[in-house]
Amino acid sequence: MSPVRIALIGLSASAKTSWAAEAHLPYLLSPRGSKHYQIVALLNSSDKAAAAARSHFGLPEVVKTYGDPEALASDPNVDLVVCITRVDTHATLTTPSLKAGKAVYVEWPLTQGLQTSEDLVAAASSAGNSIVGLQGRVAPVVREVKKLLDSGRVGRVLGSDVEAYGSLLPRDKLPEGLAYFADRKVGGNPVTIAFAHAIDFIHHVLGEFDEGSVGSRMQLQRPAIKVLGDDTGEQRGIVKSDVPDVIALHGTIDGSNTVDGATLAVRFRNGTSFKGRPAFVWRIVGEKGEIEVESPAGPYLHSDSYVEPVVIRVHDHESDVVEEVPWKWEAWQEELPVRARNVGEV
């Protein structure tokens, strides 16, 4: 079978975030990835910027460069468009390709708002072969937890609770290049990224909330955010945030392994956890035992949590013994940077 021909939107030598270069490119250029995919085009803010990215990352000259999403959509030699840009540009950059019938992979968050997201989904419905980048579902840790539940080892789920912190960022500071994280209308921020990725893989394992059962509260504890220079780390100013930094969420869940009325309760706070405490603890209470997932580095099981060991434990109630459950990366994943491992699995 011929490789799928890919156009990357957002691979840039000067991007403020590096997800395209660190999470997508390594897999696509790896021996495993290159068997299945071929990069044939780049779309950036201009043709010149796309050409600069092609040169910077050492891609072949035959890779086409675009500065116009309509022009990319018209390229008959592109099978799959992968969008890895700031959230509020996703819809504008991918809608032409969707309308042209191309498959599209959009990184999460889908867009900056409900209406734009619904419009993008509508544009994708005719093709029926597009996906959203919620790679936490395929993380080995998440798969192992789901396997434990499916095995019946702890019985049916009675409830689950989660304590999570957006530990990649300080509680009251942002680098200059990510100052837009304090602007809710942009759509990319710790709530829509860290919290949303986590709640997605949690629901993937446990099941969705029952309709009408959800209760939640959001709070903005630290509205004044210091902006630090990207180059020096020195304070450049202060911005007023309108993005909540605390979320409390609960509801009953309806999954294949849950009892009626099983409750999921999640508490998220942006910034670091209490000093010396893990930034992500997820417990699942079953009829016969409990599962605990502890990630000292935070809830980023889809990406950045692996600078410290992520541990799965099972407490068997009958024997009163706690056992650590092993998990591992596939051999091909271990050859890639951490951010590329789950993306490659998707």
For residue 246, the one-letter residue type is: V
- What pLDDT is attached to residue 13? 84
CATH topology of domain 4-133: Rossmann fold (3.40.50)
- Contact (CB, 8 A) for 271 and 165: yes
Question: Residues 326, 329, 330, CA angle at the centre, nearest 5°?
Answer: 125
State percent of the chain over pLDDT 70: 99
Instruction: With 0.75 as the threshold, say if the pTM is over it.
Output: yes
Q: Where are the alpha helices (DSSP H) in the chain?
A: 19, 25-29, 31-36, 47-56, 69-73, 90-99, 114-125, 140-151, 196-206, 331-334, 338-345
Level-2 CATH architecture, domain 136-340: 2-Layer Sandwich (3.30)
Bridge partners of 286, per DSSP, are 157
- What pLDDT is attached to residue 142? 99
Under the banding of pLDDT at 50, 70 and 90, the label for residue 16 is low
Q: Which two tokens stand for residue 12?
A: 């840039």
- What pLDDT is attached to residue 14? 78
Question: Residues 305, 109, 97, CA angle at the centre, nearest 5°?
Answer: 125
Indicate where the chain has its CATH 3.40.50.720 domain(s): 4-133
DSSP string, 5-66: EEEEE---SS-SS-HIIIIIHHHHHSHHHHHHEEEEEEE-SSHHHHHHHHHHTT--TTSEEE
Residue 194 has pLDDT above 90, yes or no: yes
- Contact (CB, 8 A) for 292 and 310: no
Cα-based distances in Å from 71 to 65, 97, 104: 10, 9, 15
Phi, psi dihedral angles at 91 (to 5 degrees): -65, -45
- What pLDDT is attached to residue 267? 98
CA-CA distance, 186 to 63, in Å (whole number)?
31
DSSP state of 112: S
Indicate where the chain has its CATH 3.30.360.10 domain(s): 136-340
Residue 126 has pLDDT above 80, yes or no: no
* Tens-place pLDDT, residues 231-288: 888 899 999 999 999 999 999 999 999 999 999 999 999 999 999 999 999 999 999 9
Residue 15 has pLDDT above 80, yes or no: no
Under the banding of pLDDT at 50, 70 and 90, the label for residue 159 is very high
